[in-house]
Amino acid sequence: MVVAVAVPFALAGWLAWLIDAPSPWRDALWPRGIGLGALALLLLIGCPLGSQMLAEEIRTELATSRRYQQEIDERETARTADFAQLTDASPLHSWGAYATDELDLKERREMALRRLAARPTLEADLARDLVSPYARDSDVAFFLVERVQFAPSAVLEAPLRTAMSRIVGEMRKAGFGEAWPGDSATLDSYIRSGFAERLAASLVIARRIADSAGVDLRAALGELQSAATAAYPKTKSAETYQREVAVADKYIEAALAARLKPN
């Protein structure tokens, strides 16, 4: 410790001497001896000590890494076992923990979506969860309508409108309007973390149910767009969603018109 603290000052003093001392004195033997001696002492003590500390740090990092990997393996084993126990009678939110988790294994996520597509009571369960008082269950059902490959029927129209109205209410409650204290980029990040996935899902859902059942959700999309604009004005996310809603409106109009044409 003494060497580590004191010797660098001796080296700094020697360097200052070489820079500031008058030219005839710079090559004096005694300051050079002090400086070179301090450097040698620092290397003699510091190299073994530094090597020992580096080796200890490496051992600690390896032990931490192995512990983290063991925890990851244990969680994965538990998730695999839980997933294997799911059945058609399991709640949708239990399936949603795998089917809507982008960080989960792709193979397991795709299997969950296939199992849900074949679920005999899928639409009835979705209709129930979409209007659930628990926002988490309603959100999971909303994402499942978007991601499960099935043809939604008119049975889901009212539940979907209810779920979209809930999202509108949440946006208005969480919005800042013109009172946002930060910049628009920070607000955009806030929107993306809280509502971007649901807004994107609303566009897909509105198109799908227009194609499959002739249900017109343009009014619900308009409410979402108005809420996003009012709650988060002058943000890129709100402007982008407004443009996407306009595109979706034209798609839905064309899909509904195509259904009215005689075969």
Per-residue pLDDT band at 101 (split at 50, 70, 90): confident
Structure tokens at 88: 């058609």
Mean pLDDT (whole number) for 195-208: 93
Mean pLDDT (whole number) for 223-229: 92
Indicate whether 27 pLDDT > 60: yes
Q: What are the phi and psi torsion angles at 133 (to 5°)? A: -70, -15
Q: What sections of the chain are H helices per DSSP?
A: 2-20, 29-84, 92-99, 106-117, 122-130, 135-147, 157-174, 184-194, 196-213, 218-231, 236-260
Q: Same domain for 44 and 111?
A: no
> Taking a C-beta distance cutoff of 8 angstroms, is the pair 153, 213 a contact?
yes
Mean pLDDT of the chain: 83
> Taking a C-beta distance cutoff of 8 angstroms, is the pair 248, 203 a contact?
yes
Q: Same domain for 75 and 96?
A: no
Tell me how far the alpha carbon of residue 74 is from its chain's centroid. Answer: 23
Q: Same domain for 129 and 211?
A: yes
Q: Same domain for 126 and 216?
A: yes
One-letter identity of residue 227? A
**Residues 6+ away with beta carbon under 8 Å from 147:** 99, 100, 113
Residue 171's pLDDT is: 87
Mean pLDDT (whole number) for 97-112: 85
> How far, in Å, CA of 180 to CA of 232, rounded?
8
Q: Same domain for 101 and 211?
A: yes
Last residue of a domain, one of 31, 57, 81: 81
pLDDT digits (tens, 9 = 90+) for 130-181: 999 999 999 999 999 999 999 999 999 999 999 999 999 998 887 765 555 5
Q: Same domain for 157 and 51?
A: no
Last residue of a domain, one of 26, 54, 81: 81
Indicate whether 245 pLDDT > 90: yes
Q: Same domain for 59 and 132?
A: no
> Taking a C-beta distance cutoff of 8 angstroms, is the pair 85, 115 a contact?
no
Structure tokens at 123: 């639409």
Q: Which of 26-30, 159-163, 233-237 has the lowest mean pLDDT?
A: 26-30
pLDDT digits (tens, 9 = 90+) for 34-59: 666 766 766 676 667 667 777 788 88
Q: Same domain for 76 and 194?
A: no
Range of the domain at 67: 2-81
User: pTM for the whole thing?
Assistant: 0.71
Mean pLDDT (whole number) for 104-124: 91
Q: How many domains does the chain have?
A: 2
> How far, in Å, CA of 139 to CA of 172, rounded?
17
Q: Same domain for 192 and 226?
A: yes
Q: Same domain for 98 and 223?
A: yes
